[in-house]
Structure 1
């Protein structure tokens, strides 16, 4: 089932040849994690979605409050087979009309969902090797921080990783600084210092990034900062990990000839699960 503008349907009547998300990537989306019929980090997701829609000049439907968003997601979840957790995705796109210049800034939405096997987050201790993706760059601009469907850099990077046997790739911006992974934000631990790239460098404004920053600041003796990361910095790090709402925290075990531990990542996963269970 699909939730199309607040109505549960088996299929939509969207004409691809007129759909602006298909034609121009004129779409903003939000990926959620639902546990026990509750959207994790609901406020953060909602306000990021609303901010993104305003930035790209889409007219937000008057009825689309935070309570309405949660209600519509759970309405769809209730039609699915029972699972430990769910991965819904909300996609907004402008109504048909125009070329690059839209004729209508009002938008529609679709919610889809799929089951997840694990209720809580866990540490994956398997080998997880990454490499820099240098064929294309992410530009240092506000649009780069949004979850839009303009993801050709991430798609071609994913193909590069698959062709070369890597689990993931790290993206760089036009200043040649490392900003994120293909599917999440990047964190680096060197000594007692935890660093993640600032939004000004063009990285995704991740919901899990925000959670990890808040939790990390409560770890005694750990200095937390947002600062640019160069490729050379990766070689000096003790620990690297990737974050997003679905996987939680994914440790990187190898980058080129350097291998990494997962000490801080393991601590953060425990703190993250405690927050999820008792919030």
Structure 2
């Protein structure tokens, strides 16, 4: 079942028209998060990121769009799909309503909630072959729009096709200054000794929720040092570890970049702490 503006429909129901602004102009935002045994992981962080993004895109936030209302609608959708006792991937998409060309005729919005079953309730570290390469055909802009989780993902789609065609598990994206900012579907962390580095938002990376949580974990650690700074492509082969983060996988180690192979000891230690933080959020 799919939730469209609070009403449940079968998955195969045609809900959107050819005038949908998300389809026509990428005029939409989305949040992807984990639901596990009745709890939405880091829901407040997702909610406030969505609200801030809607304001930046000058969407009109409905009075009903409270933290509690959207959580209830997500729970209703999960229950309708009989998945409330397991692990579920939730996607909440918000788009400006039909009308207009580039200039909309309204700033009012609609939403769609979709769910799908996940294999594990915990973040699991997937070791093994995970080779990446730089994608340099197109660049990430260094601006606030690049920080938002919009549906305007042409660069990510083309990079995914490039990865498929060349046998890579993922690609690393670079900005207009040729600095490495993120992967196709997550933020990048670079490990050198006890220092863990990730690109700043000013470089154009996504303002990721797991990025934020991992930065909190690293900052609180006595054994690790967090550095938020630009990442040069020349640093990658000198690193001890490289790993990616997103809200569904948690942490994904990179095993190989060009001629360099990487371990994942730091990533292993961090995924346990990330699971602990998620469990703490469940009980709070």
- TM-score normalised to structure 2 length: 0.96
Deviations 1:106-142 (A, max 9, x none): 0100101101010101111111100000000010010
Q: Which residue of 1 aligns with 2:137?
A: 135
Match of 1:23 in 2: 24
1:275 aligned partner: 277
Note the C-alpha offset of 1:157: 0.2
CA drift at 1:223: 1.0
- Conserved 8 A contact 1:95-1:107: yes
SS in 1 for 2:237: helix
Q: 1:190 to 1:60 in 2, by over 3 A?
A: same
Matching of residues 143-154 of structure 1 within 5 Å: 143-154=145-156
**Secondary structure of 1:53's partner?**
helix
> Between Structure 1 and Structure 2, how many residues are aligned?
279
The answer to whether 1:120 aligns with 2:94 is no
Report the Cα distance in structure 2 between the residues aligned to 1:95 and 1:81, rounded to whole angstroms.
30
Given candidates 231, 234, 250, the residue that maps to 1:232 is 234
**How far 1:185 moved relative to its partner?**
0.3
Q: What is the CA-CA distance between 1:257 and the residue it aligns to?
A: 0.3
3-state SS, counterpart of residue 242 of structure 1: strand
Structure 2: distance between partners of 1:15 and 1:232: 45
Question: How far did 1:240 drift?
Answer: 0.4
Q: CA deviation at 1:17?
A: 1.7
Q: Aligned ranges for residues 1-279 of structure 1 at < 5 Å? A: 1-10=1-10, 14-82=15-83, 84-279=86-281
Distance 1:93 1:12, change over 3 A: farther
Task: Please state how far the C-alpha of 1:220 moved relative to its aligned partner.
Answer: 2.1
CA spacing shift, 1:124–1:13, aligned 2, 3 Å: closer
On the 8 A contact 1:28/1:149 being kept in 2, the answer is yes
Shift of 1:218: 2.5
* Distance in 2, Cα, partners of 1:227 & 1:58: 31
Tell me the TM-score normalized by structure 1. 0.97
Deviations 1:33-58 (A, max 9, x none): 10111110011000000000000010
Instruction: Report the Cα distance in structure 2 between the residues aligned to 1:45 and 1:157, rounded to whole angstroms.
Output: 25
- Equivalent-residue separation in structure 2 for 1:232 and 1:272 (angstroms): 29
Moved more, 247-256 or 77-86: 77-86
**Aligned alpha-carbon RMSD (Å):** 1.1
How far is 1:225 from its partner? 1.3
5+ long unaligned stretches in structure 1: none
1:118 and 1:249 map into 2 onto residues whose CA distance is: 14
- Deviation for aligned residue 1:25: 0.8
